[in-house]
Structure formats: C-alpha cells, structure tokens
Amino acid sequence: MSQEVTVHVNRGSADSLETASSRLEVRGSFDLRLQSHGTPAHVHCRLGGDLERIATLPESNYYVEADGETIVLVRVTAEAIDRPVDGTLEVLTGYGSESLSIPVTVKPAPGDVDVDESLSKPAQNAPERSALEELIATVGLEPATLGVVALGLVAVGIAVLTAATIGGPVAMAGLAIVSVGFLVALVLLIR
C-alpha cells in the first residue's frame, strides 16, 4: 500500500495533469508529490467527500517550479477511525481548466498495539504537599493574597495599640481609617 501519490504537471502540454494512481489506499497521513515537467505551474488542491471530514491540507494553492517538485502532506487527523473512509483528492491547474480527481480510501489502523516496558513500572505517586501548600489549597487563596492579609492585620494591630496608648478622638479616627482601608483591601482581594 503506497503512502504517496505523484501528479505530473505540464508533462504532455501546458496545464496538463497526469497520475499513474487510479486509486489510493492509506492507513493515515500521506504525501501528494506535484512534479513539474517544463514550465512552472500554480496548482490548487482540495479534498472531497468524507475525506474532507478527517483530513486537512496545509494550504490549498501551491507553486511548482519549472522541472521541480513540491511535496504536500495530507494530514489525516482522525487516526482512530473504526471503518474505511472514502473521498477524493482533487488537483486543479490552469485556473481550473484542467483537473484530476483521485479516489482515496483511508483504512483504520491495524489492531496491534505496541507495548513498551514503561507500562510494567508502577505509577509514581505525586509528592506530598507541605503544610503551607495544604493551607493554601484549603483556603483557596494565593500566597501573595495571604501575605497582603497578614500585613493588613499587622497594620490594624499597630493602629489598635496606638489608639489604646495615646487615646483621644484623633487616635480613634486613625484606627477607623486603617480598619476601613484594611476591609476595603480585603474585599478587593477576595472578589
């Protein structure tokens, strides 16, 4: 089963397309080889039928240099298909005046699965979390947020001690301002 199809561009005459493949059967992604004979060409490619549903082209328009070749990877994205998928690969040149349609069948991958030795090893357990990480996970806040809350509590504590030591209406107003500022900051952080 070939995983490549070659389309000859400009072999017989200008804007001609030829292929030796009447049908392509693949088990995944495959290559489209655009081979120029003589003059350069602009080639348009597209997928049709159910192939369009499971495969993609990197782009639809390609420039093939004179006596050069361009390889286009037709990527089959649904690798785990359970039945054959039929469609067409269409190649056009000469602004659509010449076209070629190649039937394509994508078959499911074989049922064999390669097993390496890594499956015989036991799974590694995740490392245990520290007490701080447990606290953060329980509270649901980030460490930076917890740091800001701790500093705010220290500021409120200092304001309480200052107000208790000095006394008077000015000290109490300062305590109120610090307390309100801490509560506003706390609401903004948790929101």
Residue 1's pLDDT is what?
45
Tell me which residue range forms the domain holding 161: 132-190
- Final residue of a structural domain among 106, 123, 157: 106
169 domain-assigned: yes
Amino acid, res. 136: I
Q: Coil, strand or helix: which one is 30? A: strand
Are residues 18 and 98 both part of a single domain? Answer: yes
pTM comes to: 0.54
User: Mutual orientation of helices 143-166 and 169-190 as an angle, nearest 10°?
Assistant: 170
Q: Is the pLDDT of residue 74 over 50?
A: yes
- Number of C-beta neighbours around residue 93 at 10 A: 23
How many structural domains compose the chain?
2
Are residues 23 and 73 both part of a single domain? Answer: yes
The H-assigned helical ranges of the chain are: 51-54, 131-139, 143-166, 169-190
Q: What is the pLDDT of residues 94-121, one digit of tens each?
A: 888 899 999 999 888 776 555 667 666 7
Residue 119's pLDDT is what?
65
Cβ 20 vs Cβ 39: under 8 Å: no
Q: For 47, list phi and psi in degrees, rounded to 5.
A: -105, 145
Cβ 178 vs Cβ 156: under 8 Å: yes
Mean pLDDT of the chain: 85
Are residues 100 and 152 both part of a single domain? Answer: no
Output 57 or 185, whichever has higher pLDDT. 57
- Name the band, by pLDDT with cuts 50, 70 and 90, for residue 2: low
Output 119 or 28, whichever has higher pLDDT. 28
